[in-house]
Amino acid sequence: MFENREGQKVPQVVFRTRRDHEWVDVSSDEVFKGRTVVVFALPGAFTPTCSSTHVPRYNQLAPVLQAHGVDEIVCVSVNDAFVMNEWQTAQQADNITFLPDGNGDFTRGMGMLVEKNDLGFGNRSWRYSMLVRDGVIEKMFIEPDVPGDPFEVSDADTMLRYIAPDAVIPPSVTVFSRPGCPYCAEAKSMLDEAGIAYEEMVLNRDYSEATLRAVSGEATVPQVFVNGVRIGGSEHLAQWLNESSDQAA
């Protein structure tokens, strides 16, 4: 079993980071002292669960967490600075700070360093998350000590529910578009004006017409999806936004 370290201080280490082609040492105090920080730690950059779910959801919910008093969201992994920087770029996770723990000093100090020799990983971090206030761990969510790589409690939604149980979670929105489409531009403008973040998928860059037909049953764009539900084109989006506004009122 992994030790729950709530009420204890975070380990005092130095993170070796790279910024603008220069080495920059960042101490634990610089990250945590006098601040409220959410940390989530994971086994490795570019690995499936970490890339498909763990990082993207924290990046998406970062503005909500920050609106409820969190100063910074930090991802820690036992990887070097070059790998972590490339991973952040690939993930387009600009709302998160990626801290490389290449030697495992922070992870070891947290009691979360585990052997992943069976995968050829060497020593890596167990998956967990925590809320740290002024360097003291207030809350930890540690994945169960079972074989494999469980992912049940260290997710962003669990952390948000702890920090702000009544927080309104923003919808997950995707816009299928094509270059030069005026109706696509109109749909994106409406979402921007409503303050709703969205992911844009561009025809022949991110998807094909066959994919659009398979997903939406339509060949026209835009096609807007919200929380897994197809809303439709720009006219349908306008109607959905009006109805959502009426419900909020």
- State the sign of the Cα–Cα–Cα–Cα dihedral 140, 144, 147, 149: negative
User: Measured between alpha carbons, how far is residue 218 from residues 6, 79, 176, 178, 210 in Å?
Assistant: 51, 43, 11, 14, 9
Task: Round to whole Å and give the CA distance between 114 and 125.
Answer: 6
Task: Round to whole Å and give the CA distance between 70 and 76.
Answer: 17
CA 130, 65, 30: angle at the middle one, nearest 5? Answer: 60
φ, ψ for residue 121, nearest 5 deg: -90, -20
For residue 75, indicate whether it is catalytic.
no
Greatest Cα pair distance in the chain? 57
Which of 50, 75, 181, 184 is catalytic? The answer is: 50
- State the sign of the Cα–Cα–Cα–Cα dihedral 181, 199, 225, 62: negative
CA dihedral 50, 155, 61, 116 (to 10 degrees): -20
φ, ψ for residue 148, nearest 5 deg: 90, -150
Token reading at 110: 């947290």
Positions annotated as catalytic residues are: 50
